[in-house]
Structure 1
Amino acid sequence: MKMKTRITEMLGIEYPIIQGGMAWVAEHHLAAAVSEAGGLGLIGGANAPGEVVREEIRKAKALTKKPFGVNVMLMSPYADDVAKVVVEEGVKVVTTGAGNPAKYMKMWKEAGIIVIPVVASVALAKLMERGGADAVVAEGTESGGHIGEATTMTLVPQVVDAVSIPVIAAGGIGDGRGIAAAFMLGAEAVQMGTRFVVAKESIVHENYKQRIIKAKDIDSAVTGRTHGHPVRCLRNQMTREYNRLEAEGKSFEELEYLTLGTLRKAVQEGDTTNGTVMAGQIAGLVTKEQTCKEMIDEMMEQADKLLGGCQK
């Protein structure tokens, strides 16, 4: 069932599956479990200070000897510190979100780090290739959290045609069918977030996990479109209030205040009523809690059958 692609060869992993660097969710337990299962686990830097990320990296190293990476959120006030920490701690892979990693590229490349930016457009993918990126994650609007406008089905093949570096598909992928479809579109790996949120190794509150497991296909909502910062999460009291205020023309600052700390509230405290329950549209397909190994084995077996064993 092992799939060999430029991504698996580059990253030294068994399967072309990367776990998304989700804020408050992607910590050392989950990252290490995904890597141990043959994928690439990621620690989500989010808005955490450099020393917090350093501690997470060291804890992950204690749990796995296999490759794992760090997602650097470029809009974080601590991005400069985290960018240095990944070099100092010998991290082999960095993914980036919310911006252009150009200012760190020389430092990372000199340290031998594989750099994989997340992009939501062809133009950004081309810019990242010119800037020295080793691969890109083409993330469709189906994803949870901060999103672009193009769907995975339309974005991935256009990015594949536009760049020569490997493309990883993300957004709306939650099983072997999604993996097979991504490969048909020209991707050489997938990045998945929502399904891994409900992994047994995930530290997310049980209420959050159950909200995803019980979600229907129409249960996601997007907030912040009018201000150019769209975020996909599951519908609840918070999203209804946000969208009401947004429709009334409230400022971005007022709306941001409404969501301050709400992701942590949902992830850690289990407040799925007033917290931000980030999840992709694929949540309706996620129906059970499994270990990361069980998930990856199940998905790869399904993908292998659909692709006709052509990757062997």
Structure 2
Amino acid sequence: METALTRLTGIRHPIVQTGMGWVAGPRLVSAAARAGALGILASATMTAGELRTAVREVASRTDAPFGVNLRADAGDARERVRIIIDEGVRVASFALAPSRELIGELKDAGVLVIPSVGARRHAEKVAAWGADAVIVQGGEGGGHTGDVATSVLLPQVVDAVGIPVIAAGGFHDGRGLVAALAYGAAGIAMGTRFLLTSDSTVPDAVKARYLAATVADITVTRAVDGLPHRMIRTELVDALERSGGARRLARSVRRAAGFRKLSGLSWAQLVRDGLAMKHGKDLTWSQVLLAVNTPMLLRASMVEGRTDLGVMASGQVAGLIDDVPSCEELITRVMSEARHVLAALPGDGRA
């Protein structure tokens, strides 16, 4: 199935595996890439040295194109951009809109730039700055999210920009791919669906919690880091929502110290990152610290399997998923379903 996305990136299927912190490592990314999707490494939870090692590991496992997801507001963003360029990575994606300068530097080196956005105006801005494509996530998506549904946001963006648009938020099967194409998208991006594959390193006990979740079990809360964050509701989430500011601040400081040690960042770098997160947002310093240490809450679940101590970012679509296939099996299934759906559509517009 050829689309503007497959032509742009050189992948076989119009499917993107998103960059999820502590989840989208070399094993998952290389498996997705080998299966014909665009696998994207999550670099925000890696040091710069770990990122270079991870890129080389993926490259050693597959010749297929893949990408790296960056935080545009990170203090060492330019160092990470240089790693991407030096290592010959095909795609750079961004969780936040990158600057015009970062886009220009990557494009000058032949790297495709595909930011993720949650609003039409952000898509218009990065398109004007030279982005090659854009991932548009509706409110159904996991992690930080907006409140506009994909079915409303997607056509807005498709009509507003002249670059390929990749739909994210609520996708897990071939029906969703066909629906996204009908809206004018060039493909779909999936996070939770790839988290729940056998190639994902997330502990089995955590995957079981996702599989057991219903749509009603997945909520949006500001208690974790002050920003709307979609995740599975757990006792920890309930406790964070009930706890007072002083208690949240104490927890934030402890976890921020742990993340600083793990990431190798200095306190000055953490503060700079916190200021970048705070810019343009009405966040308290307690919320900023929570935002800085959110990676530690995710790590507790996604790496250590401690769902009692960590959070589980999740799209609403987890409530529809009931199996853990390999990436190869998943992508083969999605494409087969899509072809069957397309074949079943009335050719002359009549039911």
Q: TM-score, normalised by structure 1?
A: 0.93
Deviations along 1:140-180, one digit per CA (max 9) or x if unpaired, are 11111111221111000000000111100000101111111
Q: What is the rounded CA distance, in whole Å, between the counterparts of 2:295 and 2:192 in structure 1?
A: 21
Q: What is the rounded CA distance, in whole Å, between the counterparts of 1:309 and 1:131 in structure 2?
A: 40
Counterpart selection for 1:192 from 185, 190, 193: 190
Q: What is the rounded CA distance, in whole Å, between the counterparts of 2:44 and 2:224 in structure 1?
A: 23
**1:16 matched to which residue of 2?**
14
Q: How many residues align?
A: 308
Q: What is the rounded CA distance, in whole Å, between the counterparts of 1:160 and 1:246 in structure 2?
A: 43
**1:292 matched to which residue of 2?**
327
1:298 positional shift? 0.6
Q: What is the rounded CA distance, in whole Å, between the counterparts of 2:34 and 2:244 in structure 1?
A: 43
**1:65 matched to which residue of 2?**
63
Letter in 2 for 1:148: G
Q: What is the rounded CA distance, in whole Å, between the counterparts of 1:270 and 1:138 in structure 2?
A: 30
**2:286 matched to which residue of 1?**
254
Superposed, 1:107-146 pairs within 5 Å as: 107-146=105-144
Deviations along 1:211-233, one digit per CA (max 9) or x if unpaired, are 11111111112121898621111
1:285 positional shift? 1.1
Letter in 1 for 2:66: F
Letter in 2 for 1:13: I
Within the alignment, does 1:275 sit opposite 2:310 as a pair? yes
Query: Contact 1:140 / 1:149 at 8 angstroms: preserved in 2?
Result: yes
**1:103 matched to which residue of 2?**
101
Letter in 1 for 2:286: E
Q: What is the rounded CA distance, in whole Å, between the counterparts of 2:99 and 2:29 in structure 1?
A: 22
Secondary structure, aligned partner of 1:218: helix
Q: Tell me whether 176-185 or 252-261 shows the greater mean CA deviation.
A: 252-261
Superposed, 1:208-287 pairs within 5 Å as: 208-224=206-222, 229-245=227-243, 252-255=284-287, 256-257=289-290, 259=294, 261-287=296-322
Where does the alignment leave 5 or more consecutive residues of structure 2 unmatched? 249-282, 346-351
Deviations along 1:95-142, one digit per CA (max 9) or x if unpaired, are 111233323112101110110010111101110110000110111111
Q: Tell me whether 224-233 or 39-48 shows the greater mean CA deviation.
A: 224-233
Q: What is the rounded CA distance, in whole Å, between the counterparts of 2:78 and 2:206 in structure 1?
A: 31
Secondary structure, aligned partner of 2:242: helix
Letter in 1 for 2:222: G
Q: Tell me whether 229-238 or 250-259 shows the greater mean CA deviation.
A: 250-259
Where does the alignment leave 5 or more consecutive residues of structure 1 unmatched? none
Q: What is the rounded CA distance, in whole Å, between the counterparts of 2:153 and 2:295 in structure 1?
A: 31
Name which one, 1 or 2, has greater alpha-carbon Rg. 2
Deviations along 1:18-44, one digit per CA (max 9) or x if unpaired, are 000001100111000001001111101
Q: What is the rounded CA distance, in whole Å, between the counterparts of 1:209 and 1:44 in structure 2?
A: 19
**Which structure has greater helix proportion?**
2
Secondary structure, aligned partner of 1:282: helix
Query: Contact 1:120 / 1:139 at 8 angstroms: preserved in 2?
Result: yes
* Identical aligned residues as a percent: 37
Query: Contact 1:118 / 1:139 at 8 angstroms: preserved in 2?
Result: yes
Q: What is the rounded CA distance, in whole Å, between the counterparts of 2:299 and 2:170 in structure 1?
A: 23
Q: Tell me whether 70-79 or 136-145 shows the greater mean CA deviation.
A: 70-79
1:260 positional shift? 6.2
Query: Contact 2:225 / 2:294 at 8 angstroms: preserved in 1?
Result: no
Q: TM-score, normalised by structure 2?
A: 0.83
Deviations along 1:34-84, one digit per CA (max 9) or x if unpaired, are 010011111011142221111100000111011111111223333222111
Q: What is the rounded CA distance, in whole Å, between the counterparts of 1:213 and 1:305 in structure 2?
A: 26
**1:36 matched to which residue of 2?**
34
Secondary structure, aligned partner of 1:70: strand
